[in-house]
């Protein structure tokens, strides 16, 4: 796995290791997913070939995994001089590329996840470091505290710092499926949201704030194990 | 954490830059606010009526940016109020960087427990609202955030490097922010990693403690990452998790845990028993028999006189030229070389291996319990379902849709249950339900007076999650058959059919069916045990069977078939009984299966230690038991293979080709895990007699992993029922610990303390019991001199004296009791805190209303100042009361 370690400078790698919950392997792997194709050495090709055998064969043209292809397309769009390592660290990947990663494809919250982790002013692109942040929060070793914090921000659809009724109904729609026949009826939705607020809105102000949310999360043992994305 | 913190009264707030683009100054400055408060308190009585009217009238108007601040229908406030609301600390923490920084500043200070500098939170609480607090609790303007940052940086600088990194890692900030914080907090002296932190003396103690914790943590992380690099299963587990969710994944994780336990045990055994013995091989008693291949199944033949079995091990001190029995003691230890006393090593290694396994098992069980059962975790099922039920690991579109279906059904059912029981008027469809004997004030924790009434939801899909919400209701709900959502009318008709005088009779019938099925299942278990007993007796009596190797395989085959078939029988029987809830059904199936396996294993243990020892007088019975366990293990593996082949592959082909069904079979997690536990019990039982049995078990587990994985991916579909993964893994760990491990330990203890080892083979051949080896050694030590006199003392007073055991168990019970009391106290405190928080919330609402009315009045005054007409706000009366 150390093949491309020399590409990413040692200091940078160490810094990423210190500041995120990721291991060296994971950083390199995410580097590979997001970065330019010339970083891919044979070993990683083989590894990622193993990894994506879950995707149907039709999607795996030429034996290259979907994510790599997605990014390769993206890199083709980049000007030639940007394809060095440093540039690709600075380069920002648009949401569509990230969303087509197999790990995120089936997730109903994928847009929200990208938006929450994006640091660009327009909130529509992810840099490599944002991507690392994302993976760090969703990694095995991240603390429950930071996981629940980001879960809150993902669920806070209007970014106003609390979960109000609109956020909750949007959240429930994401969970049950957006289409007409799958979503809950209006009365059910109202009842459900009333119940949720009754159960978790401790200070009775009609919205759920971060600490109330974390209080709910702390009672669910399955959260930390399900709030995970493995690259 | 900070939810109990009293709400700082933040009145005069510059608006958040994120919400509003412009920075218009607030209409009031601080003194004016106080002034208005003073006024407010004075005029409160005068205003009360008028203000209430205004509020309600406002509430009817347009809603702001969705800020339903007050309970009930009131929600709209003027933009100024909304702005203040939006910048309340409890809200900014979920959104703005400045608030996060200040929160973490507080935490850092708390971490260091420096009393010289008060917490900023305390400052805010105690001080009057002054300019001081602005830079801490409000939304950031640029320089305020910088100020906060510099405070945080100062705090971080006084921490050790590792501690600082740990702190930074846990902050919910972006990588760039973290990096800049780190750059700034780097001390000017040492410029690179690995420098020493220069904390003050006062924080030295805390630093030390923290450093220890961190070292352990980073050590664990390093170990974890190296393991991660080593394990080839990461991708496999990821795929399984992605396609089948956490529930099926828990089976494979359990398998991994077992593998780790076995590897640990094997390592010990290899290092201290097998290795030394292999290094000093004794002279073989006879010619080596030729291997025929069947030995792989029977474990006998050419395997018999190898390190595989107990009989091969010598009873001598190994690295001494003059071998001899121990108690003779004629060999004085060589100078420079420690004597390696094989019997002692054998006894101690097995004992220590079991002890370590026991400790780690109990530890992981306790940890898992702590994770999955929290104080107060029985409430709030809707919120937990909505917030925590999505499995982010799922990567397949189909699995994700299945998950959505699951969650939807769960939510719908939950809402309906609430509808039935709540005080609120039911929706139109529920009109006719008014005759249900549900009292309007339904307590969810009460056992319903008439349980039969609740089976109206018989077709509903109800999740095991329900157990968290209500233990009692949960038992009334039937398991899901078709995964479709029930129509209410259908429900109603069914309920009308079932209610009334028949309920008592039906309950009786239910109880009878339940009893009958239990009886039948217990009878099956008993029958299996008797069959095994009779069969083994037959095997002992028939002399011609002993000659053939293949005949040895008959007993394991029979037991394996019973083990395989009886659970299926029980499952068919379970179709007769009334299904109460899916959770209960799963637990019952596990329980019956377990009883069956225990009965069979108990009979076998009796057969080995009670009968075989007597029958095999003059032979090496330990070898026989070891071989028998080896055969059982291998046969268990073979039958697992067949079961996988027929239960999953063939069944899928049949159901696809013949029955034309689209559904694939589901992976039965509970049964598979129980089989793993059974196999592990066999391995533990055999450790004493066949030290290499853990190795066989490891090979078996590895093969099972790949076979099950392949079969799962090819043949099975994701389970339709939601499955409480963490609860279930807790249950499985408990089962592994309690009947399995404990049973094996009792078996081994009996073998070590009570049974006479065979006289012709093995390390204990000259002794009465295996434990004699230890006693002899202690006597030896006593004779050796006063240097190690504490060891015999320990032995005499702590091991042989029962008083000590009683003392320890009494202490243990006391600790358990104290813990129960502590938990009860915590529960009380939680209740009180909740009450306090809701009071604070009411205070908040009250203050917000006041604030709103102040703004309102100000606005009106201004308006009246500029315009002469008063008709801007026509006071209309609304009669509905505010529920506060």
pLDDT tens, B661-708? 777 888 888 889 999 999 999 999 999 999 999 999 999 999 999 999
Place of tokens 């104290």: B818
Q: Which CATH number fits domain A143-230: 1.25.40.10, 3.40.50.2030, 1.10.238.10, 3.40.50.300?
A: 1.10.238.10
Determine whether domain A65-142 maps to CATH 1.10.238.10. Answer: yes
- State the pLDDT confidence band at B509, using cuts at 50, 70 and 90: confident
Say if residue B155's pLDDT is above 50: yes
Place of tokens 């034996």: A63
Q: What ipTM was assigned to the predicted interfaces of this complex?
A: 0.78
Inter-chain residue contact B392 with A228, CB threshold 8 Å: yes
Q: Does B844 touch chain A (CB under 8 A)?
A: yes
Mean model confidence pLDDT for chain A: 73
Q: Nearest-CA neighbor of B114 among B83, B155, B143?
A: B155
Say if residue B197's pLDDT is above 60: no
Neighbours of B880 (CB within 10 A): 10
pLDDT in tens, B76-132: 566 777 777 777 777 777 667 777 777 777 777 666 554 344 444 333 333 333 333
Residues of B in contact with A221 (CB under 8 A): 371-374, 377, 726-727
Residues of A in contact with B382 (CB under 8 A): 192, 195-196, 199
Phi-psi region of B456 (alpha: psi -120 to 50; beta: other; left: phi over 0): alpha
Count of positions (residues) in chain A: 231
Q: Does B396 touch chain A (CB under 8 A)?
A: yes
Q: How large is the average pLDDT for residues A10-14?
A: 82
Residue B72 vs residue B549, higher pLDDT: B549
Q: Does B182 touch chain A (CB under 8 A)?
A: yes
Inter-chain residue contact A230 with B389, CB threshold 8 Å: no
Q: Name the residue facing A177 among B229, B404, B841 (closest C-beta).
A: B404
Say if residue B179's pLDDT is above 50: yes
Residue B37 confidence (pLDDT): 45
Say if residue B613's pLDDT is above 60: yes
At what angle are helices B234-269 and B342-372 packed, to 10 degrees? 150
Q: Does B415 touch chain A (CB under 8 A)?
A: yes
pLDDT in tens, B282-306: 776 666 677 777 778 888 777 888 8
Q: Does B86 touch chain A (CB under 8 A)?
A: yes
Residue in B closest to A103 by C-alpha: B395
Q: Choose the mutation target among B383, B423, B837 for the interface with A, i.e. most A CBs under 10 Å.
A: B383
- State the pLDDT confidence band at B829, using cuts at 50, 70 and 90: very high
Tell whether the torsion through CA atoms of A99, A104, A110 and A116 is positive or negative: negative
Inter-chain residue contact A195 with B414, CB threshold 8 Å: yes
Q: Are B381 and B469 in contact (CB under 8 A)?
A: yes
Inter-chain residue contact A223 with B837, CB threshold 8 Å: no
How many CB pairs (< 8 A) connect A and B?
Answer: 270
Say if residue B814's pLDDT is above 90: yes
CA pair distance A127, A145, nearest whole angstrom: 24
What does the DSSP assignment read for B231-247?
-TTHHHHHHHHHHHHHH
- State the pLDDT confidence band at B268, using cuts at 50, 70 and 90: very high
Residue B286 confidence (pLDDT): 64
DSSP state of A208: B
Residue B558 vs residue B87, higher pLDDT: B558
Say if residue B655's pLDDT is above 60: yes
Place of tokens 């389970």: B719
- Residues 716 through 735 of chain B touching chain A, CB cutoff 8 Å: 724-727
Q: For residues B605-642, b (16+ Cβ closer than 10 Å) or e, as one string?
A: bebbbebbbeebeeebbbbbbbbbbbbbbbbbbebbee
Q: Does B68 touch chain A (CB under 8 A)?
A: yes
What six digits make up the tokens of B803? 């008083």
Q: How large is the average pLDDT for residues B821-830?
A: 91
Mean model confidence pLDDT for chain B: 72
Residues of B in contact with A108 (CB under 8 A): 390, 400, 404
CA pair distance B81, B856, nearest whole angstrom: 9
Say if residue B609's pLDDT is above 50: yes
Residue A37 confidence (pLDDT): 42
Identify the top-confidence range among B14-23, B45-54, B548-557, B675-684: B675-684
- State the pLDDT confidence band at B159, using cuts at 50, 70 and 90: confident
Inter-chain residue contact A176 with B727, CB threshold 8 Å: no
DSSP state of B317: B
Q: Are B112 and B155 in contact (CB under 8 A)?
A: yes
Q: Does B82 touch chain A (CB under 8 A)?
A: no
Burial of B387 (0-12, 13-18, 19+ CB in 10 A): buried
Q: How large is the average pLDDT for residues B14-27?
A: 39
Say if residue B870's pLDDT is above 60: no
Domain-wise residue ranges, chain A: 65-142, 143-230
Residue B878 confidence (pLDDT): 43
pLDDT in tens, B698-747: 999 999 999 999 999 888 887 776 667 778 888 899 999 988 999 999 99
Nearest-CA distance from B455 to chain A in Å?
21
Inter-chain residue contact A25 with B229, CB threshold 8 Å: yes
Residue in A closest to B372 by C-alpha: A221
Q: For residues A146-178, b (16+ Cβ closer than 10 Å) or e, as one string?
A: bbbbbbbbbbbbeebbbbbbbbbbbbbbbbbbe
CA pair distance B302, B286, nearest whole angstrom: 11
Residue in B closest to A229 by C-alpha: B393
Q: Name the residue facing B392 among A152, A205, A227 (closest C-beta).
A: A227
Residue in A closest to B416 by C-alpha: A188
Inter-chain residue contact A103 with B395, CB threshold 8 Å: yes
Residue B502 confidence (pLDDT): 57
Q: Does B710 touch chain A (CB under 8 A)?
A: no
Inter-chain residue contact B838 with A203, CB threshold 8 Å: yes
Residues of A in contact with B841 (CB under 8 A): 202-205
Q: Are B376 and A208 in contact (CB under 8 A)?
A: no
Q: Does B71 touch chain A (CB under 8 A)?
A: yes
Q: Choose the mutation target among A153, A198, A221, A231 for the interface with B, i.e. most B CBs under 10 Å.
A: A221
**3-class DSSP state of B442:** coil
Residues of A in contact with B235 (CB under 8 A): 50-51
Residue B484 vs residue B411, higher pLDDT: B411
Q: Are A47 and B198 in contact (CB under 8 A)?
A: no
Q: How large is the average pLDDT for residues B569-573?
A: 86
Residue B476 confidence (pLDDT): 34
Inter-chain residue contact A107 with B724, CB threshold 8 Å: no
Residue B221 vs residue B553, higher pLDDT: B553
Residue B376 vs residue B136, higher pLDDT: B376
Q: Name the residue facing A203 among B372, B411, B837 (closest C-beta).
A: B837
Nearest-CA distance from A181 to chain B in Å?
11
What six digits make up the tokens of B684? 């533990």
Nearest-CA distance from B239 to chain A in Å?
7
**3-class DSSP state of B569:** helix
- State the pLDDT confidence band at B341, using cuts at 50, 70 and 90: confident
Residue in A closest to B229 by C-alpha: A25
Say if residue B842's pLDDT is above 80: yes
**3-class DSSP state of B145:** helix
CA pair distance B92, B851, nearest whole angstrom: 19
Residue in A closest to B730 by C-alpha: A221
Q: Does B183 touch chain A (CB under 8 A)?
A: no
Q: Name the residue facing A215 among B3, B86, B242 (closest C-beta).
A: B3
Q: Name the residue facing B228 among A25, A172, A216 (closest C-beta).
A: A25
Residue A104 vs residue B98, higher pLDDT: A104
What six digits make up the tokens of B351? 């004992």
Residue A10 confidence (pLDDT): 79
Identify the top-confidence range among A179-183, B402-406, B552-556: B552-556
Say if residue A158's pLDDT is above 50: yes
pTM beyond 0.80: the answer is no
With vertex at residue B622, the alpha carbon angle to CA B313 and CA B762, rounded to the nearest 5 degrees, is 25
Inter-chain residue contact B241 with A230, CB threshold 8 Å: yes
């Amino acid at each position: 796995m150390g093949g491309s370690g020399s590409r990413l400078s040692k200091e940078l790698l160490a810094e990423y290791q210190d500041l995120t919950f990721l291991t060296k392997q994971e950083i390199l792997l995410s580097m590979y997913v997001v970065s330019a194709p010339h970083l891919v050495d044979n070993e990683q090709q083989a590894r990622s070939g193993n990894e994506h055998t879950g995707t149907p064969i039709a999607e795996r043209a030429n034996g290259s995994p979907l994510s790599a292809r997605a990014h390769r397309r993206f890199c083709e769009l980049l000007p030639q001089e940007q394809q060095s390592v440093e540039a690709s660290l600075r380069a920002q990947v648009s949401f569509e590329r990230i969303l087509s990663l197999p790990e995120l494809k089936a997730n109903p919250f994928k847009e929200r996840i990208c938006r929450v982790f994006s640091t660009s002013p327009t909130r529509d692109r992810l840099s490599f470091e944002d991507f690392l942040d994302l993976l760090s929060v969703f990694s095995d070793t991240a603390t429950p505290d930071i996981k629940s914090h980001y879960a809150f921000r993902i669920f806070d659809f209007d970014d106003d710092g609390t979960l109000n009724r609109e956020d909750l109904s949007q959240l429930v729609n994401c969970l049950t499926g957006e289409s007409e026949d799958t979503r809950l009826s209006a009365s059910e939705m109202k009842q459900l949201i009333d119940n949720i607020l009754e159960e978790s809105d401790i200070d009775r102000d009609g919205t759920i704030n971060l600490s109330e949310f974390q209080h709910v999360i702390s009672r669910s043992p399955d959260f930390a194990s399900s709030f995970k994305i493995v690259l | 954490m900070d939810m109990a913190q009293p709400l700082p009264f933040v009145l005069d707030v510059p608006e958040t830059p994120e919400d509003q683009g412009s920075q218009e100054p607030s209409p009031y400055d601080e003194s004016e606010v106080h002034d208005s408060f003073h006024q407010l308190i004075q005029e409160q009585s005068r205003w009360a009526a008028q203000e209430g009217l205004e509020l309600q009238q406002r509430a009817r108007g347009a809603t702001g940016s969705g800020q339903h601040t007050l309970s009930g229908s009131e929600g709209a406030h003027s933009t100024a109020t909304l702005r203040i609301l939006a910048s309340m600390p409890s809200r900014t923490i979920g959104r703005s960087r400045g608030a996060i920084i200040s929160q973490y500043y507080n935490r850092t200070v708390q971490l260091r427990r420096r009393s010289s500098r008060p917490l900023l939170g305390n400052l805010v609480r105690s001080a009057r609202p002054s300019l001081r607090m602005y830079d801490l609790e409000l939304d950031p303007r640029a320089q305020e955030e910088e100020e906060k940052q510099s405070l945080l940086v100062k705090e971080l600088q006084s921490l050790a490097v590792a501690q600082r990194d740990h702190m930074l890692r846990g902050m919910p900030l972006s990588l760039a922010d973290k990096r800049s914080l780190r750059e700034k907090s780097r001390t000017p002296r040492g410029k690179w990693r690995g420098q020493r932190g220069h904390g003050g003396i006062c924080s030295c103690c805390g630093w030390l403690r923290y450093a220890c914790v961190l070292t352990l943590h980073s050590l664990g992380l390093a170990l974890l990452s190296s393991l991660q690099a080593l394990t080839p299963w990461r991708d496999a587990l990821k795929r399984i998790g992605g396609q089948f969710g956490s529930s099926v994944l828990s089976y494979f994780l359990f398998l991994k845990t077992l593998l780790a336990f076995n590897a640990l045990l094997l390592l010990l055994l290899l290092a201290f028993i097998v290795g030394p013995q292999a290094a000093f091989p004794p002279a073989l008693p006879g010619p080596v028999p030729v291997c025929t291949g069947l030995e792989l199944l029977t474990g006998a033949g050419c395997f018999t006189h190898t390190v595989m079995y107990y009989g091969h091990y010598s009873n001598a001190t190994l690295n001494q030229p003059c071998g001899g029995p121990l108690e003779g003691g004629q060999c004085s230890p060589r100078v420079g070389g420690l004597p390696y006393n094989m019997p002692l090593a054998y006894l101690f290694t097995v004992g220590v291996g079991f002890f370590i396994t026991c400790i780690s098992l109990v530890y992981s069980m306790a940890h898992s319990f702590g994770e999955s059962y929290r104080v107060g975790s029985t409430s709030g099922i809707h919120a937990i379902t909505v917030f925590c039920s999505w499995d982010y690991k799922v990567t397949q579109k189909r699995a994700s849709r299945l998950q959505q279906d699951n969650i939807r059904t769960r939510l719908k059912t939950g809402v309906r249950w609430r509808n039935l029981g709540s005080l609120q008027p039911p929706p139109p469809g529920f009109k006719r339900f008014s005759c249900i004997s549900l009292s309007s004030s339904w307590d969810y924790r009460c056992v319903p007076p008439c349980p039969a009434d609740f089976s109206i939801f018989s077709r509903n899909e109800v999740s095991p999650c329900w157990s968290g919400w209500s233990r009692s209701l949960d038992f009334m709900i039937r398991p899901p058959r078709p995964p479709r959502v029930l129509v209410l009318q259908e429900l109603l008709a069914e309920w009308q059919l079932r209610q009334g005088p028949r309920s008592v009779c039906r309950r009786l019938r239910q109880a009878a069916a339940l009893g009958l099925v239990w009886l039948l299942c217990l009878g099956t278990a008993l029958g299996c045990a008797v069959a095994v007993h009779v069969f083994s007796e037959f095997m002992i009596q028939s002399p011609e069977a002993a000659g053939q190797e293949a005949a040895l395989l008959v007993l394991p085959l029979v037991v394996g078939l019973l083990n395989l078939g009886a659970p299926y029988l029980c499952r068919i029987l379970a179709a007769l009984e009334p299904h109460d809830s899916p959770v209960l059904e799963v637990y019952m199936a596990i329980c019956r299966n377990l009883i069956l396996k225990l009965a069979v294993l108990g009979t076998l243990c009796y057969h080995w230690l009670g009968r075989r020892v007597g029958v095999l007088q003059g032979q090496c019975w330990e070898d026989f038991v070891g071989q028998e366990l080896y055969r059982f293990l291998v046969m268990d593996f073979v039958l697992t293979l067949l079961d996988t082949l027929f239960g999953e592959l063939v069944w899928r082909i049949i159901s696809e080709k013949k029955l034309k069904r689209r559904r694939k079979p589901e992976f039965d997690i509970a049964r598979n895990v129980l089989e793993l536990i059974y196999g592990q019990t066999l391995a533990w039982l055999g450790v004493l007699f066949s030290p290499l049995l853990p190795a066989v078990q490891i090979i078996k587990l590895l093969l099972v992993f790949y076979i099950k994985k392949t079969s799962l991916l090819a043949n099975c579909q994701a389970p339709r029922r939601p499955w409480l993964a963490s609860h279930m893994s807790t249950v499985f760990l408990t089962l592994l610990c309690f009947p399995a491990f404990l049973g094996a330990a009792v078996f081994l203890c009996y073998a070590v303390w009570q049974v006479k080892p065979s006289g012709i083979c093995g390390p204990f051949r000259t002794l009465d019991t295996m434990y004699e080896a230890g006693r002899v050694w202690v006597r030896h030590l006593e004779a050796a001199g006063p240097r190690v006199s504490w060891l015999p003392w320990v032995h005499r007073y702590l091991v042989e004296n029962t008083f000590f055991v009683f003392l320890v168990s009494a202490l243990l019970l006391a600790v358990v009791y104290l813990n129960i009391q502590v938990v009860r106290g915590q529960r009380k405190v939680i209740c009180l805190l909740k009450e306090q928080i809701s009071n604070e919330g009411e205070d908040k609402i009250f203050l917000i209303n006041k604030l709103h009315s102040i703004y309102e009045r100000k606005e009106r005054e201004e308006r009246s100042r500029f315009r002469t007409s008063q008709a801007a706000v026509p006071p209309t009366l609304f009669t509905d009361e505010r529920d506060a």
